[in-house]
Amino acid sequence: MKQLDDLVESASKQFEDAIHQVDHQVLEETRIEYLGAKSGKLKEAQKGLGKVAKEDKPVAGKRFNEVKTRLEELFQSAADTITGGGKKGKAETLDVTLPGVRPRLGHIHPITQTIDELKDIMGRLGFSAVEGPEIEDDWHNFEALNIPLEHPARDPLDNFYLNIAASSHGGGNQLLRSQTSTVQIRVMENKQPPIRIVSLGRVYRPDEIDATHYAMFHQIEGLLVDTNVTMADLKYVLRLFASSYLGEDVEIRFRPSFFPFTEPSVEVDMRWQDTWLEFGGAGMVDPNVLKAVGYDPEEVTGFAFGLGVERLCMRRHGINDIRYLYDSNTKFLAQF
């Protein structure tokens, strides 16, 4: 029994040494010395069991098995510690010669990059950036924008109306805003002219999804209200804006159009690298809108525009499918 106890004591010292030296060789030698199948110390002790008196055999056998398990444990834990891995929870050793684990760095999404850049450009032209809520009431999304109840743009099938009770203020239905023109109203309700703002953010429409349409996208809205504002100012600002973003001289073309909240209204095309591209709508703020927010249309005039942020970003980077932007595929996104 004494011999067995000594075995555990000396083995644990030697395995401990192997750990301190972080030495596989020492570990292996210690293993052979104690657990070696042919002439290990445990094997010897087993042979000694044969000489134990018959009546002492059960106790001695039991003790032998305990010692054997203990030695195997000592070896295993020393091995795990030295190889620095193995089972979880064991102490790890640091090998400073191994290459480090590089942290994966993310970066700003291309749409957010575009938004930041567009804000910057408009900031230099004197437009300050403001934000509006994505959940709107129909006063801000339609009514104040001169879009009456019977207008097809208010069709439930063309909007994401929310299934919640009407709010106490603004009245009526709540919906995910279908355009950032809502922010024009929110700004004018709270401030007197002169006004010079841009608002960039998400809008939602239940469109069929394809290469150029998504149920959620971003718009940049611009609004300028002052005395003697004309369409020439609008065209000039849009041309400066387009040239700054696309990086060359960009031509602007207005095509007659209709929006309930501008009069006259135009579609805005930009000619870049020999192609005409449609980027959104614009026009002179409709007198009815100015009245709805308490301005006097005889005193002030203004222009407004709304352009697609994805379109600008896709054109600039040569991206041909809007869905790539929202797939969360880091291989794609890492390119920008």
Q: Give the footprint of ligand PHE on this chain (CB under 6 A).
A: 179, 181, 259, 262, 280-283, 304-306
Distance of CA 43 to the CA centre of its chain: 62
258 or 332: whose CB is closer to ligand PHE? 258
The single residue listed with the structure tokens 């000619």 is 271
Q: In this structure, are residues 268 and 307 in contact, taking their beta carbons and an 8 Å threshold? A: yes
- What's the burial of 325, exposed, middle or buried (CB within 10 Å: 0-12/13-18/19+)? buried
- Residue 167 CB, shortest distance to ligand PHE, in Å, is 22
**Closer to ligand PHE by Cβ: residue 75 or 259:** 259
Largest CA distance in the chain: 120
Which CB atom, from 15 or from 204, has the smaller least distance to ligand PHE? 204
- In this complex, which beta carbon is closest to ligand PHE, that of residue 114 or of residue 262? 262
Residue nearest to ligand PHE (CB): 306
Structure tokens belonging to residue 140: 């801000």
CB of 246 to ligand PHE, least distance (A): 20
Residue 173 or 181: which CB sits closer to ligand PHE? 181
The pair of structure tokens assigned to 58 is: 């059960």
**Closest separation between CB of residue 289 and ligand PHE, Å?**
10
| Ramachandran bin of 41, using left for φ above 0, alpha for ψ from -120 to 50, beta for the remaining angles | alpha
Residues 6 or more apart in contact with residue 70 via CB below 8 angstroms: 8
Query: CB of 261: closest distance to ligand PHE in angstroms?
Result: 6
- Strand 128-129 vs strand 195-204: parallel, antiparallel, or unpaired? parallel
Smallest gap from Cβ 249 to ligand PHE, in A, equals 24
> Could you give the residue ranges of the DSSP H alpha helices within the chain?
2-21, 24-35, 41-49, 57-83, 110-124, 138-141, 182-190, 231-246, 287-292, 309-317, 330-333
In this structure, the dihedral spanned by the alpha carbons of residues 41, 69, 16 and 2, taken in order and rounded to 10 degrees, is -50
Q: At closest approach, how far in Å is the CB of 332 from ligand PHE?
A: 27
Pick the closer one to ligand PHE by CB: 201 or 283.
Answer: 283
Minimal distance in Å, beta carbon 92 to ligand PHE? Answer: 58
- 57-83 vs 24-35: helix axis angle to the nearest 10? 170
Shortest reach from residue 329's CB to ligand PHE, in Å:
28
Complex with ligand PHE: residue 14 or 159, whichever CB lies closer = 159
Q: DSSP assignment, residue 213?
A: -
Closer residue to ligand PHE, CB minimum distance, 110 or 302: 302
